[in-house]
Amino acid sequence: MQVRFLYLFFFVLATNFLFGQSTVVYKTIDTLHLKMEIYEPRGMDANVKHKAIVFFFGGGWTKGSPAQFRSQAAYFASKGLVCFLPDYRVESRNRATPFEALKDAKSAIRFLKQHAGKFHIDSAGIVAAGGSAGGQLAAATALISDYNEQTDDLKISPVPAALVLFNPVIDNGPGGYGYDRIGESYLHFSPLHNIRKGAPPTLILLGSNDHLIPVATAEYYKTVMEKVASRCDLVLYDNAGHGFFNPNKERSNFFYKETLKEAERFLRSLDYITADPEKGAAN
């Protein structure tokens, strides 16, 4: 009970002092208003174009909530990034298919690029991140040409500048995740099958005991990325299973903290984070 109280206390403290939070509607479909949560660095300079990161939650395109990445968003807002947590259509709430989820993910990035001035962000400096099926969506915004909402401004590219993928379901082909729902459309939906020259620099964080994403799949993804001259960092965590990166108040947050550190290292290598690395570091 004491541990839970301390966790809540420090999260509220971070909310008050490290970042500001708000919500905006980014897409309307009939009576459905899709929103995204925004986490801004406290005291953000409105005259500076900040780098940004968009987190897509996991849940197999069937369930899930933007709340999954609130802790990561709070952390990276404290590092100077503007962080966005979009909701998107899923099967359980909206009777949606994975294809509609991808349309929403692309809409979210297009919305941010279109309104970059309003949010004081660099439209060319948006990172897409996500876990599991959310990792698939993040990667697909960069690699998949199909599945665009026709009400979007299609002149705006949904391709992010970089990717941070937490145990992503990057293979949707036969034998991969989601093939039972996607079928032969995997050829136009699966990130692994659509890697091409110019793919954004990518970080993949994966547990060695993941029952959904084999290590061999991630290693092959890295190989193909390097063949097209794109950077792909793959970091494996021994004895970690699917969802290992999530904060968990019931047990050690070791993997959560380690993946935060690794994502920060990757973003620093791209000059997306330039503040003192010791200040507010994950511990």
Token output for 161: 């500048």
Say yes or no to pLDDT of 26 above 80: yes
Residue 61 lies in domain:
2-269
Give the pLDDT confidence score for residue 282 in this predicted structure: 52
In a domain, 278, yes or no: no
pLDDT band at 252 (very low <50, low <70, confident <90, very high): confident
* Poorest-pLDDT segment among 151-155, 163-167, 198-202, 275-279: 275-279
In a domain, 117, yes or no: yes
pLDDT band at 15 (very low <50, low <70, confident <90, very high): very low
In this structure, the number of other CB atoms found within 10 A of the CB of residue 40 comes to 22
* Poorest-pLDDT segment among 133-147, 191-205, 263-277: 263-277
pLDDT band at 1 (very low <50, low <70, confident <90, very high): very low
In a domain, 274, yes or no: no
Cβ atoms of 71 and 256 within 8 Å: the answer is yes
Say yes or no to pLDDT of 218 above 70: yes
In a domain, 121, yes or no: yes
In a domain, 30, yes or no: yes
Say yes or no to pLDDT of 276 above 70: no
Say yes or no to pLDDT of 12 above 80: no
Three-class DSSP category at 184: helix
The number of distinct structural domains making up the chain is 1
Q: What span, in angstroms and rounded, lies between the C-alpha atoms of 85 and 236?
A: 25
Q: What span, in angstroms and rounded, lies between the C-alpha atoms of 232 and 219?
A: 10
pLDDT in tens, 151-196: 999 999 999 999 999 999 999 999 999 999 999 999 999 999 999 9
pLDDT band at 62 (very low <50, low <70, confident <90, very high): very high
Say yes or no to pLDDT of 92 above 90: yes
In our burial notation (b when 16+ CB lie closer than 10 A, e otherwise), range 86-108 reads bbbbbbeebebbbbbbbbbbbbb
Q: What is the DSSP letter of 183?
A: G
Q: What span, in angstroms and rounded, lies between the C-alpha atoms of 186 and 124?
A: 28
Of residues 282 and 97, the one with the higher pLDDT is 97
| CATH number for the domain that contains residue 31 | 3.40.50.1820
In a domain, 277, yes or no: no
